[in-house]
Amino acid sequence: MIKRADHSATAYTGAGRWDQSPFAVPVVDPVGAGDAFAAGYLSGWLRDLPEQAALAEAACVAALAIQSPTDTAGLPSPAVRDRALAAYTEWTDAVHR
């Protein structure tokens, strides 16, 4: 896994390479974004999601984290994560916490 200064990430496995751009959200506090990204990725990986889906979840959890005033206030439940990810990737309704 490579995370870049522009907040994009790339994952490499024996099966290939996957890229993920950050989701454009307002930043309230960037503290905890990296940990949230790692948590989102590991959550997807542990549930055997495809690599691109795990990266998208990582970016989603990080995006939710930076919109909150504390390190952990933005960490989502699975339902909130799934709704936010749909909003970010499928342009569905707004996210409500």
Distances (CA, A) of 91 to 63, 83, 86: 15, 11, 7
pLDDT digits (tens, 9 = 90+) for 70-96: 878 889 999 999 999 999 988 766 555
88 SS3 class: helix
Tokens representing 9?
A: 């990430």
| pLDDT of amino acid 93 | 61
pLDDT digits (tens, 9 = 90+) for 38-59: 999 999 999 999 999 999 999 9
Mean pLDDT of 61-72: 91
| pLDDT of amino acid 70 | 86
Task: Round to whole Å and give the CA distance between 70 and 62.
Answer: 13
Nearest 5°: the CA angle 20, 24, 28 is 120
Mean pLDDT of 15-33: 94
Mean pLDDT of 15-31: 94
Task: Round to whole Å and give the CA distance between 28 and 41.
Answer: 22
Tokens representing 3?
A: 């995370």
Tokens representing 50?
A: 């495809």
| pLDDT of amino acid 74 | 85
Catalytic residues: 35
58 within 8 A of 44, measured Cβ to Cβ: yes
Could you tell me the pTM of the whole model? 0.88
